[in-house]
Amino acid sequence: MAAIARLMTTLVALCATVAGAEPGFWDQPTEALSAPVEIVVYRSPSCGCCGKWLDHVRRHGFAVQDIKGDDMDALKRRLGIPEKLKSCHTGIVGGYLIEGHVPAADIKRLLRTRPDLAGISVPGMPVGPPGMEMGSRKDPFTVLGFAKDGRTSVFTDYTSY
């Protein structure tokens, strides 16, 4: 019986690590929202990492409207997401575009400071940001701010976190 319990514990730990369910950096509290803020998120129905990111923003006080669709490229073109900034899902909150696995703390800072940007993005799918966790591996990544004309600037640098 003890051997079965050890095996089950090992399997659960392995699944949690592979699934990125390990609690950690992104679960730390962030500034509270004064009221729930809705974020509308567009994503492919087959994307698993998007669901993990949605869980992350929900844990940080956002109310999520989850819209699944198949033609994400057309949506991104229509919204004006620059090609070099694309990722797997797109959110809209407070008049800003949120592209990819942007940490909730950065979304909150964007809404609090209201910079002259179209939105912020974590381009591609780096390992480490919320929804893209892989155990203890944390690759450096950058949250980029982008203007309507496509110009970019560093919003937050996660070289070491």
The predicted pLDDT at position 16 comes to 35
Is the pLDDT confidence value at 19 over 60? no
Confidence of residue 48 (pLDDT cuts 50, 70, 90): confident
Predicted TM-score (pTM) of this structure: 0.81
Please, which contacts does 17-25 make with residues 24 or more away whose CB atoms are closer than 8 Å?
17/135, 18/135, 20/52, 20/131, 20/132, 20/133, 20/134, 20/135, 22/133, 22/135, 22/136, 24/133, 25/138, 25/161
Q: pLDDT by residue (tens digit) across 91-129?
A: 999 999 999 999 999 999 999 999 999 999 999 999 999
Domains and CATH numbers, the chain: 36-158 (3.40.30.10)
